[in-house]
Chain A
Amino acid sequence: MHMKNNKKENLRELFEKFLDSHKAQQAAEDIKNAGEILQQHPAPGPSAQLLEGIKAQVAIKAAARRKAIAFRRIAYRVAATAAVVIITISVGVKLFEKEAPAPKALALDLAIPATTWDSNNLAEDDDYSATLVAEIEQIERDLLALQLDENGSNGLSVVEVLEMELNEINENFWKG
Chain B
Amino acid sequence: MAESEELAQIIAGCKKSETDSFSRLIDIYSTRCYGYFYRLTGNRDVSDELLSRLFVKLVEKIHSFRGGSFEGWLFKVASNIFHDHLRDKQRQKKLLQARIERLQEQTEPAKDSVDNRIDQLQIQLEKLDQDTRELILLRFYSQLSFKEIARMRSEPIGTTLSKLHRALEKLRKLMERKCT
Q: Chain B residues near A27: list those with CB within 8 A.
A: 161, 165
Residue ID in chain A nearest B25 by CB atoms? A58
Is the pair B51, A42 in contact by a Cβ cutoff of 8 Å?
A: no
Is the beta-carbon distance between A58 and B38 smaller than 8 angstroms?
no
> What separation, in Å, do the CA atoms of A41 and B120 have in the docked complex?
8
**A46→B27 CA distance, assembly (Å):** 11
Please tell me if the beta carbons of B172 and A33 are within 8 angstroms of each other in the complex: yes
B17–A62 CB distance below 8 A:
yes
Interface string of B13-52 (1 = CB under 8 A from A): 0000111001100110011101100110000100110011
Q: Is the CB of B35 within 8 A of A34?
A: no
Once the chains bind, are A54 and B26 in contact (CB under 8 Å)? yes
Q: Are A34 and B171 in contact (CB under 8 A)?
A: yes
Contact of A38 among B31, B59, B121, B164 (CB under 8 A): B121
B60 contacts chain A at the CB level, 8 A cutoff: yes
Q: Is the CB of A1 within 8 A of B32?
A: yes
Contact with B146, one of A9, A34, A50 (Cβ below 8 angstroms): A9
What per-residue 1/0 map shows which CB atoms of A27-64 lie under 8 Å from chain B?
10011011101101111111100110111011101110
B169 near A34: Cβ-Cβ < 8 Å? yes
B165 touches A31 (CB 8 A): yes
Is there an interface contact between A45 and B35, defined as CB atoms closer than 8 Å? yes
* Chain A residues whose CB sits within 8 angstroms of the CB of B175 once the complex forms: 37
Sort chain A's interface into a size bin: 35 or more
Identify which of residues 2-44 in chain A touch chain B, using a CB-to-CB cut-off of 8 Å. Answer: 3-7, 9, 14-15, 17-18, 27, 30-31, 33-35, 37-38, 40-44
Contact partner of A62 (CB less than 8 A), chosen from B22, B71, B139, is B22
Q: Contact at A69–B17, with CB atoms within 8 Å?
A: yes
Q: Which residue in B59, B118, B121 is a CB contact (below 8 Å) of A61?
A: B59
In the complex, chain B residues 139-180 whose Cβ is within 8 Å of any chain A Cβ: 139-140, 143-148, 157-158, 161-162, 164-165, 168-169, 171-172, 175
CB-CB under 8 A from B56, the residues of chain A are: 54, 57-58, 61
Is B136 an interface residue, CB under 8 A from the partner? yes
Complex Cα gap A37–B169 (Å):
11
* Contact indicator B18/A62 (Cβ below 8 Å): yes
Q: Across the interface, which residues of A come within 8 angstroms of B169, CB to CB?
A: 30, 34
Query: Are B165's CB and A17's CB within 8 A?
Result: no
Say if the beta carbon of A65 comes within 8 Å of chain B: yes
What are 30 A-B pairs at a CB distance below 8 A? A1-B32, A3-B140, A5-B143, A6-B145, A7-B148, A9-B146, A18-B162, A27-B161, A27-B165, A31-B164, A35-B140, A37-B171, A41-B117, A41-B118, A41-B121, A42-B118, A43-B118, A44-B35, A44-B118, A45-B34, A45-B35, A54-B56, A55-B22, A55-B26, A57-B55, A58-B19, A65-B17, A65-B59, A65-B60, A66-B17
Interface residues of B (CB under 8 A from A): 17-19, 22-23, 26-27, 30-32, 34-35, 38-39, 44, 47-48, 51-52, 55-56, 58-60, 71, 117-118, 120-121, 136, 139-140, 143-148, 157-158, 161-162, 164-165, 168-169, 171-172, 175
